[in-house]
Amino acid sequence: MSRKILIRLPIILGGMGIILISIFAFRLGFDNDPGWGTGRFKMLVLGLGISFFGAYYWFGPIINNGYADIKGTLKKHSFFQALIKLIRQIRSQIENIIHFICDSSFAVRISTSGLYKWFSQKLTNIGLVLLGCCIVWIYIWIITIGSMDKWPSGKDYYWKLSQAFQQGQTHLLVEPSPELLQLENPYDLQQRNGIEYLWDTSFYKGKYYLYWGPIPAVIGVLVSSITSKPVTDTGLVFLFVIGIASFSVLLLRDIHRKYKYPAWVFWGGVIASTVNIPLIWLLTRPKFYEVSIVGGQCFLMMGFFALFRAFRSPMLNKGHIVLASLSFGLAGATRINLLPSVIFLAIVIFWRIFVANQKKINFSLPALTAAFLPLALVACFMLWYNYDRFDSIFEFGHRYQLTGSSLPPNYKDTSSANYIIPNLYSYVFRPPSLDREFPFLTVPWVKENMWPYFIHIPEHYYYTEPVAGILFIVPLVGLALLFLARYFWLLVNGDLSVPEIGDGGHENQISWYRFSMLGCFLIQAFILVIFINSAMRYLFDISTLLIVLSVIFMGSYLHTFAQNKFQIRIAALLWILVSMLTVLAGFIIGFTGDENNFLNQNPSLYYQWLERFGG
């Protein structure tokens, strides 16, 4: 029995198994409803699709032969022959007009002018600047809820921390109430009932602290010392979002230039990375939670941008090594969840420096020092910061927060393998809500009846916040995953061989970079799925990384899973389509967010759009 048949039989059997489970789900005890709900229909369709995929090896040639016969018959028909002749004549006339224009003396003078040469060389940068202006306008329009001048206000926790830093202390200037101080267990929500306190702050030895990373507050001190104005949480979120978009685009531009990716791969990735649901979602609720999240991602993408520049040539750039290490350190000191990834990236940088210097420690020392010192500086600052607040260099204060159900009585229950399945469903497969009326797409707050029947919610798991699967809300990632599946299928099927990576080659250079970014993504994804709570804002910890990884995969492996011109054209068409859908979904979600901002705070504009697009 051949290899191709052996790998297809389990696929067919698996598909048939899913079909049988969907049919007999009630009798098998998987479903409490004897009727056919949407979940069982989806399972049936999935089983049929898997079975069809596995059996295509046998009846695929029959379909192809039938298609070829129909195509041959149509080509012989007089109508289609006349249509093809007309299309060729039109194409010939268009080409003649283009040649006439390009060969004219005026066109020749323009093409040889210095201005034209400069413009053609800078065309990508000019396009990025123009696109950037449009993107910034969209960001301002969404964050100001269509007013363009009224920025939302909030609790500005980070400004409170900045004020504390200005006074030379790490606890907030706000003093807890006597009632809170007298409680036997202030971390019990029931005991705090009726008492005024700062929600979701850390409370330790009678003082308020923030358990989020302190770097945004340090930035607040610097900005305030220059402008003499307070820094708001909204302003920090906006600043960091601009930073994320900028460094993501600059990174994609550098990769595109070095590895000559197709233009449609690059531009699709650019627009999808700057306007997508997880990013825009944070602009719809620019609170202190979001400051830490977007700040961490801003420094993370700054680090990856500098990391690529540091190692893109055989001569290591120590300035960019310093910037990469400092950026990664600041990412961890802004978003504490990123610290495991920062440790991983530090190891990658050290090893890459060692390898680039022929594994000779004496040659590697200058670059290793450039990488180590910024990380050590940030690490020492964080260790002192923790000790000054909580009497321990490894305590960040999360266990001391004054919050609700997301902090169980036993702190160990904040992370558990029991949360993996519901979190995987929410972050990957949970569909958003679609409607025929404007705004067409929303991400609702999760309720108990919105879970599939086969997922059992573990004790302490907190799931009420809005969230949707990244495969649906960022279609570009979903398409990249399908192409990745095709690539692995061709590999397993024996139609591709594993490429050999030579030392110093272009493939080797981009491979280690993919490895560093993929490792960071996997670490952050693991942290997400074992956490007690799922929320859309947490998804942003991996969404930007996934979009950039999708672009790198598409550009690097396009010619392996699309092996002829027709397949490449189909891939390009699909890529452009999902990129536009990603942007459109991101723009639409700006109308709602989690609190229906436009409807509640700018109803006149909301109803104008509702009337324009029907409702």
pLDDT of 79 reads: 72
Q: CA-to-CA distance for 568 and 558, rounded, in angstroms?
A: 8
Tokens of 328: 């990664």
pLDDT along the chain (615 residues), means of 10: 73 83 74 70 80 72 68 68 79 75 60 60 87 96 92 89 96 94 92 92 96 96 93 95 97 94 95 96 93 97 97 90 97 97 97 92 93 97 97 95 89 94 95 89 91 88 92 95 87 69 57 94 97 95 97 91 84 95 95 88 90 74
pLDDT of 101 reads: 64
Q: Is 208 exposed, middle or buried (0-12, 13-18, 19+ CB in 10 A)?
A: buried
Sign for the pseudo-dihedral over CA of 108, 114, 116, 118: positive
Torsion-angle region of residue 596: left (phi > 0), alpha (psi -120 to 50) or beta?
left
Please choose, from the candidates 233, 253, 343, 229, the residue with its C-alpha nearest in 3D space to the C-alpha of residue 294. Answer: 233
Start-to-end CA distance of the chain, whole Å, equals 59
396 SS3 class: coil
Please choose, from the candidates 19, 13, 284, the residue with its C-alpha nearest in 3D space to the C-alpha of residue 152. Answer: 284
Q: What are residue 203's DSSP bridge partners? A: 208
Neighbours of 388 (CB within 10 A): 13
Strands 433-434 and 441-442: antiparallel
Please choose, from the candidates 515, 543, 535, the residue with its C-alpha nearest in 3D space to the C-alpha of residue 245. Answer: 543
Q: CA-to-CA distance for 380 and 393, rounded, in angstroms?
A: 9
Strands 202-204 and 207-209: antiparallel
Q: What are residue 531's DSSP bridge partners? A: 415
Q: CA-to-CA distance for 124 and 131, rounded, in angstroms?
A: 10
Strands 207-209 and 433-434: unpaired
pLDDT of 504 reads: 46
433 SS3 class: strand
pLDDT of 140 reads: 96
Within 8 A by CB and 6+ apart from 422, the residues are 451, 455, 457, 458, 461, 463, 534
- pTM exceeds 0.75: yes
Q: Are 589 and 281 in contact (CB under 8 A)?
A: yes
Q: Are 510 and 311 in contact (CB under 8 A)?
A: no
Tokens of 48: 């049929």
- Residue for token digits 């997880």? 278
206 SS3 class: coil
Neighbours of 387 (CB within 10 A): 14
Q: CA-to-CA distance for 234 and 151, rounded, in angstroms?
A: 7
Within 8 A by CB and 6+ apart from 47, the residues are 15, 16, 17, 18, 19, 20, 21, 22
Q: CA-to-CA distance for 308 and 257, rounded, in angstroms?
A: 12
